[in-house]
Amino acid sequence: MSNYDSGLVTIIAGIWGLLVFASILVLVLKKAKPEKDFSELIKRTQSWWGMIGIFTVAFFSGQNLSIWLFGIISFLALKEYFSMIPTRRTDRRVLFWAYLSIPLQYYLVADQWYGMFIIFIPVYMFLFLPVRMMLTGQTEGFIRSASTIHWGLMITVFAISHAAFLYTLPSHSSGGSGAGLLLFLVFLTQFNDVAQYTWGKLLGKHKVIPKISPNKTWEGLIGGVLSVALLAIVVAPYLTPFSILYAFAAGLIISIAGFFGDVTISALKRDIGVKDTGSTIPGHGGILDRVDSLTFSAPLFFHFTWYFFY
């Protein structure tokens, strides 16, 4: 087993240990303070178990399985998105092509065809979908449908596929490789979600965006950002080619981007008037609810890494 493999196994083992500790802590808090509502924290911890469990299996099953796992996540997230937004009857023919773009996008990831990967949905699907809509002959609601369908593709397929592309990156001369970078992103994104919630519960007083997400506080945001940035410095040597400065910057990017991904999906749900994006995960909402932070953190972290190290 190489040093990199040992580092990856060490961090995965550490994550599972952290999950066990967090779960025990939640149970202790629930017993010590029965008057307080810890249901949201329990929900987030349980979803963390599920996501880390799935990703652990994928990491040790090889690159192709990991890539197509993200393809399935994109499919389920896009399906939830289309089930929420109002669509015209004639748009059903267009939605077929939107779904078809998922295997094509992830084929580009598996083939490591970066040039086409980066423009397929933002350019080619952006141009193709309104043409296909125009051919139906229905003009009423045309602009709304064109924009909502393409935005859904961008957020659930294009953005999330950046996480999968991380896995294809080769080992770097300074250490780390694709699998490590992907684990770094997923772990810190999930940790950020729990850290911001926990700091908010402990110290939160000042609301950040009360009209969209009333539970988000400045104390929770700042506490979560600093926690993630410091944790990034600790785990970066095992998984990435980052120095301390780059690790700290990556932690800031993942944490702040994750926050905006979360509240953006919250704004979407408030606009439509739903609590959860779906019921794919019983008791925990939909897939898009669980990967909302990743929709922003994945592309920004990917391009940070690509620009400075690849």
Instruction: State the pLDDT at residue 89.
Output: 87
Instruction: State the pLDDT at residue 50.
Output: 74
- CA 117 to CA 106: how far, in whole Å? 8
Question: Is 58:65 a contact under the CB 8 Å cutoff?
Answer: yes
Question: Is 85:152 a contact under the CB 8 Å cutoff?
Answer: yes
Longest dimension (CA), the chain: 63
The stretch 271-276 carries a mean pLDDT of 87
The stretch 110-138 carries a mean pLDDT of 96
Band of the pLDDT at 290, cuts 50, 70, 90? confident
Residue 50 Ramachandran class (φ > 0 left, ψ -120 to 50 alpha, else beta): alpha
Pairing of strands 213-217, 207-209: antiparallel
What integer best gives the mean pLDDT of the chain?
Answer: 89
**What domain count does the chain have?**
1
Q: Which residue has the higher pLDDT, 215 or 26?
A: 215
Q: Which residue has the higher pLDDT, 245 or 47?
A: 245
Instruction: State the pLDDT at residue 3.
Output: 40
Identify the domain containing residue 59 by its residue range.
3-309
Instruction: State the pLDDT at residue 228.
Output: 97
- CA 279 to CA 26: how far, in whole Å? 24
- CA 207 to CA 304: how far, in whole Å? 30
Instruction: State the pLDDT at residue 65.
Output: 86
pLDDT > 70 in the chain, percent: 94
Instruction: State the pLDDT at residue 206.
Output: 92
Residue 173 has pLDDT above 70, yes or no: yes
Q: What is the pLDDT of residues 73-117, one digit of tens each?
A: 999 999 999 999 988 888 988 999 999 999 999 999 999 999 999
CA-to-CA dists, residue 183 to 10, 12, 20, 205, 211, angstroms? 12, 8, 18, 33, 33
Give this prediction's pTM: 0.89
Q: What is the pLDDT of residues 31-46, one digit of tens each?
A: 887 777 777 677 767 7
Residue 278 has pLDDT above 80, yes or no: no
The stretch 165-187 carries a mean pLDDT of 90
Instruction: State the pLDDT at residue 284.
Output: 57
